Amino acid sequence: MSQLIDGKTIARQIRKSIKEDVLALNMKHGLTPGLCVILVGDNPASQVYVRNKERACKEVGIHSSVIHMSERVTEKELLETIERLNQDDTIHGILVQLPLPDHINEDSVINAISAAKDVDGFHPINCGMLMTGQAQLEPCTPKGIIRLIEETGEDIAGKQAVVIGRSNIVGKPVALMLLQKHATVTIAHSRTKNLDKIAQSADILVVAIGKPGFIDSSFVKKGAVVIDVGTTRVNGSLKGDVIFEEVREKAGYITPVPGGVGPMTITMLMENTLIAAKRSL
Ligand code: GUN
């Protein structure tokens, strides 16, 4: 039976320390970190995420604002809003909630955010910094995943890590971060042949494919660290990519869904906003 990696508790402890840092920054420099989230349209899942981000900001003492724009907003209007926030000294982090409506080019929007305020870590400058080992603002979910793996006390250096999924938000950056920490990294994806064999070689298995229950124990090496990034809503409840009850019998450590990676993502967003505010001094 594996040990549970309790993201909820770990995230709460980190937020407590962020709250103290935010307070100290305020006392020492009179600066309150500020995060602005832009939400376009009425996607219910996005609305939930944005509400959770506001709640987390409140908990740690970060000033938060939300700009809610219509589904029909033009790309030009959105880019003008971003430019205004780039110039606003009270805002240290800008996050445009994805996905955006089809008529808006996501790359153009991400590229318009000042790299210094890109608390998502999606701007090509921040991606390049990550790639070359100079990261300042790292993407939140991968950053949270690394913290969870480190919490197990297992060394990452020298381990075989397999990342299933190659998105810009999770798969690619988490693979780079594991490489930076000296793991031997394989990135697998939907076209990978013999996925089960490759996954079985993993001491650290990160699954980010968005297919609920896709990974059963046949993909998992005994004693592996298994990180489930999947969060698909099925009949009103969140389901991971891993069949938890089965895989927990074989893995060494495993994250639950919900309560694993999810709470860490928002906590890392708070941390990135604090970092961006400190760097603005
Ligand atoms: N939509 C789903 N995940 C994310 C994320 O990490 N950042 C943003 N901006 N939008 C998202």
Task: Read off the pLDDT of residues 69-111 as tens digits, 9 standing for 90 and up.
Answer: 999 999 999 999 999 999 999 999 999 999 999 999 999 999 9
What's the 59 CA to ligand 1 centre distance in angstroms? 20
Model pLDDT, residue 214: 98
Distance 270 CA to ligand 1 centre (A): 14
* Residues whose CB is less than 8 angstroms from the CB of residue 101 and which lie 6 or more positions away in sequence, other chains included: 40, 41, 71
Residue closest by Cα to atom 3 of ligand 1: 98
Give the residue among 247, 155, 239, 152 at the shortest CA–CA distance from 199.
247
Tell me the average pLDDT across 194-216.
Answer: 98
pLDDT by residue (tens digit) across 108-125? 999 999 999 999 999 999
pLDDT for the residue 1: 85
| Higher pLDDT among residues 1 and 2, named by residue | 2
Fold classification of 30-114 (topology level): Rossmann fold (3.40.50)
Domain with CATH 3.40.50.720 in the chain: 140-262
In the chain, CATH 3.40.50.10860 sits at 30-114
Q: What number does the ligand 1 atom closest to the CA of 120 have?
A: 7
The mean predicted confidence, pLDDT, of the chain is 98
Q: What is the pLDDT of residue 125?
A: 98
Which tokens in the block code for residue 51?
């509400």
* DSSP character at residue 86: H
Catalytic residue, from 21, 97, 159, 203: name it.
97
Q: Which fold has domain 140-262?
A: Rossmann fold (3.40.50)
The residues with which 233 forms a beta bridge, in sequence order, are: 238
Residue 116 is classified by DSSP as G
User: What is the rounded average pLDDT of the residues 22-48?
Assistant: 97
**Residue 120 falls in the annotated catalytic set:** yes
Residues with CB under 6 A from ligand 1: 95-98, 120, 140-141, 169
Structure confidence at residue 71 (pLDDT):
98
- From 53, 169, 265, 272, the mutation candidate for ligand 1 (largest count of ligand atoms within 8 A of CB) is 169
Cut 0.85: pTM above it:
yes
* Both structure tokens of 2: 């594996």
The 10s digit of each residue's pLDDT in 218-263 is: 999 999 999 999 999 999 999 999 999 999 999 999 999 999 999 9
Count of helix runs (H) and strand runs (E) in the chain:
10, 11
Ligand 1: atom nearest CA of 99 is 1
- Contact by Cβ (8 Å): 172, 145: no
Could you read off the pLDDT of 149-191 as tens digits, one per residue?
999 999 999 999 999 999 999 999 999 999 999 999 999 999 9
